[in-house]
Amino acid sequence: METRIPLIGERFPELEVVTTHGAMKLPDAYAGKWFVLFSHPADFTPVCTTEFVAFQKRYDDFKALDAELIGLSIDQVFSHIKWVEWIEEKLGIRIEFPIIADDTGKVASQLGLIHPGKGTNTVRAVFVVDPKGVIRAILYYPQELGRNMDEILRMVKGLRISDSKGVAIPAGWPDNELIGDRVIVPPAMDVKTAGERMKNYDCYDWWFCHKKLED
């Protein structure tokens, strides 16, 4: 059967994986929680090391959003364990989240993490998955460019707010150039609602209305 890269809005594929925290089944292991699965090219490489430190330093922030982290590369679990030990010994940072050991490349293949034009290692991919196991966002970075973890954290925050408040999140939120930390009211879908929008919200026009984010 032909496999393809999963898409936004689809359920995260069911996978049995080996990790530094033992065997896991995804997405069931994180049922009821958000999780961020991110791949890295290889253990014991400089950019990947900076990324793992950056993710760990924000791990409590992710957990505060009821979100978990899980890494992945095509290294063996022994390599992951030794690398994590090295990071703690040399850099004083203890990596607390699990790392998938995909030495067969099976998981990487199912998730579209190996791009032949960029070599045989996994690229820097990110999958943001919601509590129902649905993929809500996907990012792909090349090996030479490290990720911005604050943006990934912002994505989880924004998606949670969009779900709970029924609003859209502007560019750069919460520091948008036009509306600051306010959020966007979904566009009107009929003439009557369009006419009422200008009265009920702050608007540039009926199709671009915004409001203060309520607690």
Catalytic residue ranges: 48
Tell me the three-class secondary structure of 79-104, residue by residue. Answer: HHHHHHHHHHHHHCCCCCCCEEECCC
Distance of CA 145 to the CA centre of its chain: 16
Instruction: Name the nearest CA neighbour of 194 among 206, 211, 202.
Output: 206
Q: How crowded is the C-beta side of 24, counted as CA atoms within 13 Å?
A: 21
Tokens at 41, concatenated: 């090219």
Residue with tokens 């099976």, as numbered in its chain: 106
Interacting residues of 33 by C-beta distance below 8 A, sequence separation 6+: 66, 67, 68, 131
